[in-house]
Amino acid sequence: MFNKPMLTKSRLNLLLMAVPFLVLVFLFNYLPLFGWVYAFFDYKPGIPLSQTEFVGLKFFTLTFHDGGEMLNVLKNTLAMSFLGIVTTPLPLIFAILLSEVKNGKFKKFVQTTTTLPNFISWFIVFSLFFSIFSVEGLLNTILMKLHIISEPTNILGNREAVWYVQTAVSVWKGIGWGAIIYLAAIAGIDQELYDAAKVDGAGRFQMIMNVTVPGLMPTYIVLLLLGISNMLSNGFDQYFVFHNPLVAEKIEVLDYYVYRIGIATNDYAYATAIGISKTAVSITLLFTVNFISKKIRGESII
């Protein structure tokens, strides 16, 4: 009875602490939605919106009649997203292997070194990979010195391998960060389950397969479904820094295409229409996978 006012006050304090972050979310995520209005006008920079011709859904229909360019962009986007989804078990596997390491100092060293790339700028990442994998980079220099190859290979300029190269770069940069969620989930697994499995004579591998993996599956499925709902959003920074004329046709994803149309060619209305269409599809995918999750698992993700 006496703790109830204190509990209410505590909740009020927590709510007040969250208010600044809610304001920031509103300012940076919802207030800019006013810019969607430009998709319905034939907007030209420098001309007030009030003096701009209203064209309705013209630019939305144009996205479906954009010819081979839009189809190529969608193909690249979906291909990159599919490869990203295929590699989603890697952080889970890495977290399991890391949790099995008994040496505490070595475990912290590995976790730190694999998490650090997530905080490195994409420009620095590109500089690193360029210095190693370019025609005159470290890898080609070593291989030619050892007479393993006679001519340098341009890995970053190979249009046939660009999807796999960019997926590998993305995995390298994010695997340590992605493993943190699974490490937290492993810490939440009841230790008595491991003790019971040990009493039954299970080895380390059997305990991993019968205790750890099932304990991680709910977390993995939620992240997988969220990844599927986000298939049209590959990001921009990575493909911007790794973009070059040799791989331009294969590396241009939807986010980069919106940037090129909106900023490079000043076609703000069309770029905004593409962005709105992408958002609508992503929201549809999110609610679709949420419905599937509820039907199959009995639990929704939102």
Give pLDDT tens digits for 15-44.
Answer: 888 899 999 999 998 888 888 999 899 888
Structural domains in the chain, sorted by start: 67-266 (1.10.3720.10)
Q: What's the confidence (pLDDT) of residue 60?
A: 87
| Position 191 pLDDT exceeds 70 | yes
Q: Residues 6 or more apart from 50 whose CB is under 8 A from it? A: none
Which DSSP string do the residues of 139-177 spell out, in sequence order?
HHHHHHHTTS-SS---GGG-TTTHHHHHHHHHHHHHHHH
Amino acid at 111: Q
Please report which confidence band the pLDDT of residue 112 belongs to, taking 50, 70 and 90 as the band edges. Answer: very high
Please answer whether residues 118 and 177 qualify as being in contact, where contact means their C-beta atoms are separated by less than 8 angstroms: yes
> What percent of the chain has a predicted confidence (pLDDT) above 90?
43
Please answer whether residues 122 and 130 qualify as being in contact, where contact means their C-beta atoms are separated by less than 8 angstroms: no
Q: How far is CA 51 from the centre of its chain?
A: 39
| Position 1 pLDDT exceeds 50 | no
Contacts 24+ apart (CB under 8 A), 68-76: 70/257, 72/249, 72/252, 73/252, 73/253, 73/254, 73/257, 74/254, 76/163, 76/250, 76/251, 76/252, 76/253
Measured between alpha carbons, how far is 63 from 246 in angstroms, rounded to an integer? 26
Q: What's the confidence (pLDDT) of residue 178?
A: 93
Is the pTM higher than 0.95? no
Residues 207-235, buried b or exposed e (16+ Cβ, 10 A)?
bbeebbeebbeebbbbbbbeebbbbbbbe
| Position 94 pLDDT exceeds 50 | yes
pLDDT digits (tens, 9 = 90+) for 113-140: 999 999 999 999 999 999 999 888 899 9
> What percent of the chain has a predicted confidence (pLDDT) above 70?
96
Q: What's the confidence (pLDDT) of residue 179?
A: 94
Q: What's the confidence (pLDDT) of residue 66?
A: 65
